[in-house]
Chain A
Amino acid sequence: MGEEQAESYLYKLEAVLEEGRLLTVVVIAKTDERAFSSAENNLLRHTITPPRIKELSLVEKKPLGRQGVGYVVETSTFT
């Protein structure tokens, strides 16, 4: 974990807001630390009033080596 990673990753993070909402944030970063700070910046850009984040978690990362890497963010359950 940390600065040892030379390649970039596509990170998936989850932000639980104090009001109970769950936001999924996807960012590109080279390290886990930078993924967190990028996610926070994106959350700030996305809102007029800074969101009150109860919990911010990194839940998945995928190497950016291949085109088309991405995530599906489920808003309902599929079979």
Chain B
Amino acid sequence: MAERKQWKWAADPSLNKMEFTKLEKDGLDVIETIVNTYSKEGFASIESSDMDRFKWAGVYQQRPKDGHFMMRVRIPGGILSSEQARVLAKIAEIYGRDLVDVTTRQAVQFHWLTVESLADIFDRLASAGLSSFEACGDCPRQIMGNPLAGIDPHEVLDTRPIVAELEKFFLLNRDFSNLPRKYKISVSANIHNAAHAQINDLAFTPAKKVMAGEEVIGFHVWVGGGLSAKPYLAKQLDVFVRPEEVVKVTAGVTTLFRDFGYRQKRTHARLKFLVADWGPEKFTEQLLELVGELEPGGIDLTSGWNGGYFYGIHEQRQAGLYYAGLSVPVGRMNAGELNELARLADEYGDGTIGTCNTQNVLIRNIPEAKVAAFREEPMIVNRFKWQPNTFVGYAVSCTGTEYCNLAIVETKERMRSLAQYLDDTVVLETPLRIHMIGCPNSCGQRQIADIGLQGALVKTSNGMVEAFDIYVGGTLEEPQFNRKLNARITVDRLGPFLAQLVTLYKADRQEGEPYWRYVERVGLSHIQGQVDAILQPA
């Protein structure tokens, strides 16, 4: 066990219970205990206070808490190698009942792991330069980025070295392993806000500034975003950050969160609460005190929002090379399919695979001469399509009751089959983003969806029936969270209901008008009227 830090908040008697747990034993120390004790002595040997600390190892108990675990693996910036993919596939095959999920933060998630398997899994991950450590817990989580970094025609600089530096700086860094709460960072130089800046605790977006007669490409900084039960959009600070200053600024913001973030109430601990109290001006002053002078903000280089979608086969920044954005319906695949992706990446690309925050994947660096053959690959034609149908292609789902202790309803398979039904029922050529979640937490990022579906259970004469509340109009284009309609639709009616709602939009929309903008134009009461008419008994 490493030497214990003397944190300045340690003497505060009003800390919440979890803070005392973290002071007693740092979250990172559980890794050693898992390897040396729990993985040898089994589930029954796990001390209850350590169960919370398992999150620092990237591991949670899965529903129904019968000895199985979920593990999240960090994929920094959403780029992994084919060799890493094969290691992940092997873990899923041996220990994870052949299940691999791509998450909304570009991580990879396993289920069904036992504590006995964890030491070997940590070793396998480390052998491939991967880690699950700090993928959960009160620490810097998976760093989100642009999965096209380095090849993106729409990025202003290659962010891969920056993400790698951040990962190196933060991973297992005990200066930052005891934050007040989870902490999410995104870095992207894609001008279409590929990494969802406004819903991260700390985000970097592309900017430029003329300094001493020279145009410098760098970043603007956003702090305090997050979804959960009370979503909040990040605020932009009036600073311009050069690429070489990103790590320093990130360390500064994280230090502010660590030292001034709230630790009395766990529900009031995320960075967004500090940012809301201080405001961007005071936050900037405090940051500059820590990291030294920074230039004031420059010219924003962001333009709209791509939603994190990259479907199709597109020219890269490098002439003669292409990338393929592929659909993984609701982010779920098996080990064989991940191995097949690795083969495709090797055979057609440069051996790298991108994971997207839309739960999808990319193959990078395909030479022009290989594009035609790539398109004909059975996996691409039949499974991970580059031109998916609208609804399957833009469907996102959390884990749901299948594995999550907080979920009220099943989501993953339901969202997949619902999207398939909509594709079979309504012809819509333009994207319509539907996100389904199984509880009021926000793993499926319901708030930013065109149509968000949030699970509930309804008591009927036939027993409990799963149902969904409907939210409309979410976007990060002109950032706003979707709003709730007065409708709770049971699952037997959900498909036909949505088909009718979407058909009305299709008939009424202006040319090229996305659903969120349509909601904005016609108004929520108009949409409520549509809903009431659909639900009226025949």
**With an 8 A cutoff between CB atoms, is A48 at the interface?**
no
- Chain A residue numbers with a CB within 8 Å of B469 are 59
Cβ contact within 8 Å between A59 and B459: no
**With an 8 A cutoff between CB atoms, is B291 at the interface?**
no
Cβ contact within 8 Å between B406 and A5: no
**With an 8 A cutoff between CB atoms, is B408 at the interface?**
yes
- Chain B residue numbers with a CB within 8 Å of A63 are 405-406
Give residues 437-467 of B contacting A (CB, 8 Å). 439-440, 456-459, 464, 467
Q: A5 vs B407: C-alpha distance in the bound complex, in angstroms?
A: 12
- Chain A residue numbers with a CB within 8 Å of B458 are 55-58
Q: A33 vs B456: C-alpha distance in the bound complex, in angstroms?
A: 13
A36: contacting residue among B64, B459, B467, B488, CB under 8 A:
B459
Q: A26 vs B485: C-alpha distance in the bound complex, in angstroms?
A: 23
Decide if the interface of chain B is mainly helix, strand, loop or mixed: mixed
- CB of A37, distance to nearest CB on chain B (Å): 9
- Chain A residue numbers with a CB within 8 Å of B66 are 4
Q: A62 vs B66: C-alpha distance in the bound complex, in angstroms?
A: 18
Instruction: Report how many residues on chain A are interfacial, defined by Cβ distance under 8 Å.
Output: 21
- Chain B residue numbers with a CB within 8 Å of A6 are 64-65
Give residues 394-441 of B contacting A (CB, 8 Å). 401, 405-406, 408, 439-440
Cβ contact within 8 Å between B464 and A60: no
Cβ contact within 8 Å between B408 and A58: yes
Q: A6 vs B406: C-alpha distance in the bound complex, in angstroms?
A: 14
Cβ contact within 8 Å between B456 and A58: yes
Query: 9 shortest A-B CB distances, which residue pairs?
Result: A58-B457, A56-B459, A4-B64, A57-B456, A59-B456, A57-B458, A36-B459, A60-B440, A1-B401
Q: Can you name 30 A-B residue pairings with CB atoms under 8 Å? A: A1-B401, A1-B457, A1-B464, A4-B66, A6-B64, A6-B65, A7-B65, A14-B456, A32-B408, A33-B464, A36-B459, A55-B458, A57-B456, A58-B408, A58-B457, A58-B458, A58-B459, A58-B464, A59-B408, A59-B440, A59-B456, A59-B469, A60-B439, A60-B440, A61-B406, A61-B408, A61-B439, A62-B406, A63-B405, A66-B17
A-binding residues in B (CB < 8 A): 17, 64-66, 401, 405-406, 408, 439-440, 456-459, 464, 467, 469, 488
